[in-house]
Amino acid sequence: MNSVVQFYRDPELGAVESREFRVFNDRSLDRIPAVAALPEAMRFEMRVVASVLPFRVNDYVIEELIDWDRVPDDPMFQLTFPQREMLEPGAFERMADLHRKGASRGEIQALARELREDLNPHPAGQLELNRPSEEAGEVITGLQHKYRETVLFFPGQGQTCHSYCTFCFRWAQFVGDKELRIASTDAGLLHDYLRSHTEISDLLMTGGDPLVMKTKHLKAYLEGLLEPDLAHVQTVRIGTKALTFWPYRFVTDSDADELLHLLERLAEAGKHVALMAHYNHPHELRTPIAREAIRRVRDTGAEIRAQGPLLRHINDDPGAWADLWREEVRLGIIPYYMFVERDTGARRYFEVPLARAWEIYREAMQQVSGLGRTARGPSMSAEPGKVEIQGVAEIQGEKVFVLRFIQARNPDWVQRPFFARYDDQATWLDQLQPAFGEERFFFEDELAAIKAASGE
């Protein structure tokens, strides 16, 4: 499987060999040798869950990131392989019944579509509130414009990943239902929208993972930003898990150098280029190829910012986050966000109460230097905006959460503190109640008006 091409960095990293990309999905799950050695009951449960939630994993993750002696508790195994409790018990049993009966693929897919409807496939108003419309009222596909300065673009060729995270909040992009998918292959549409909205300073290429696609496709979207009439777009962000799931993308893939040259051209032209890397556990940073990929990206003038959700079974431990942030800083990566697991997909398996999330964040922050404290959180990417839990306090005899908007649909909401009654079981913003006898949070009336204007 490995070729003879080698790259050398220093004695610590040693040799890095190129590698053939080989991927497994729900149909080939049993062909993974390490999985074949697991108990049949566990494999059956995986197949059942993978019928509903997307599953995809590659050889690098299987062989380099997962400690199979620790399965099922290994965090990288939990990150990529389906677990029974990711579905509600009733949903699991309905799908398991079909598998036991040897049902056809059509029957299994029909039930999967039904079960997915209960998993909140597009949370926080992504379809109803985030997609802009043309003057004629027709929705512009492949774009989201939730915050004034930032537009998200979903390139059609990048709506998959090298491996899928079991917690992924964009799981609906991967399940084959066209009505759930957000994507466009029209670079002209993107550029025209940016030209007509000079308030936009940041473009975020997202997915899926835009770095799954070949560099020639990425160029079609990004080279246009070098034109003078798009000078107001100062920042190019690329959301990616490739640095973890397929670091060869930046080192030995056939167009790795072409990709790095594209990033370098954008940076040299004065654009701020940032890879918004998703890291969930310090183990993801420890392979030689991962470190070489980080070095090569940083050498282009692009920076790497790290973000990821707090996840039960994977990283719900202050020590894991402190180790992650320390290692990121050591490698030149900027810790950016600790997110709260979104209210979609397998959230029931991964979610952590907000009170505990804040405790984990606080205890992790206490263990790192100032350079590691750039990570904001715990942050909920909720319908009105990004809401940060700043702490727990007692005010006038009432125990409360102290909250603020880091980003919001209305920029005037940003940095305004507000308070919610303390609730040690709440896991999301919509489960919180205003403190001090107030009936509504300060933003709720305006948010209702925004939703009414959108026709929701």
Band (pLDDT 50/70/90 cuts) for residue 3 is very low
Output the pLDDT for position 7. 41
Kindly report, residue by residue over 156-181, the tens digit of the pLDDT: 999 999 999 999 998 988 887 666 67
Kindly report, residue by residue over 389-444, the tens digit of the pLDDT: 999 999 999 999 999 999 999 999 999 999 999 999 999 999 999 999 999 999 99
- Give pTM, 2 decimals: 0.92
Output the pLDDT for position 178. 67
How far is it, in rounded angstroms, from Cα 164 to Cα 185?
A: 22
Evaluate whether 104 touches 95 at the Cβ level (below 8 Å).
no
Band (pLDDT 50/70/90 cuts) for residue 4 is very low
Q: pLDDT at residue 255 above 70?
A: yes
Band (pLDDT 50/70/90 cuts) for residue 136 is very low
Kindly report, residue by residue over 35-49, the tens digit of the pLDDT: 999 999 999 999 999
Of 271, 235, 289, 277, the closest CA to residue 59 belongs to: 289
Kindly report, residue by residue over 256-312, the tens digit of the pLDDT: 999 999 999 999 999 999 999 999 999 999 999 999 999 999 999 999 999 999 999
Of 94, 233, 221, 227, the closest CA to residue 150 belongs to: 233
Evaluate whether 368 touches 376 at the Cβ level (below 8 Å).
no
Output the pLDDT for position 301. 98
**Protein fold of 143-376:** TIM Barrel (3.20.20)
Residue with tokens 């431990």: 317
Average pLDDT, the chain: 93
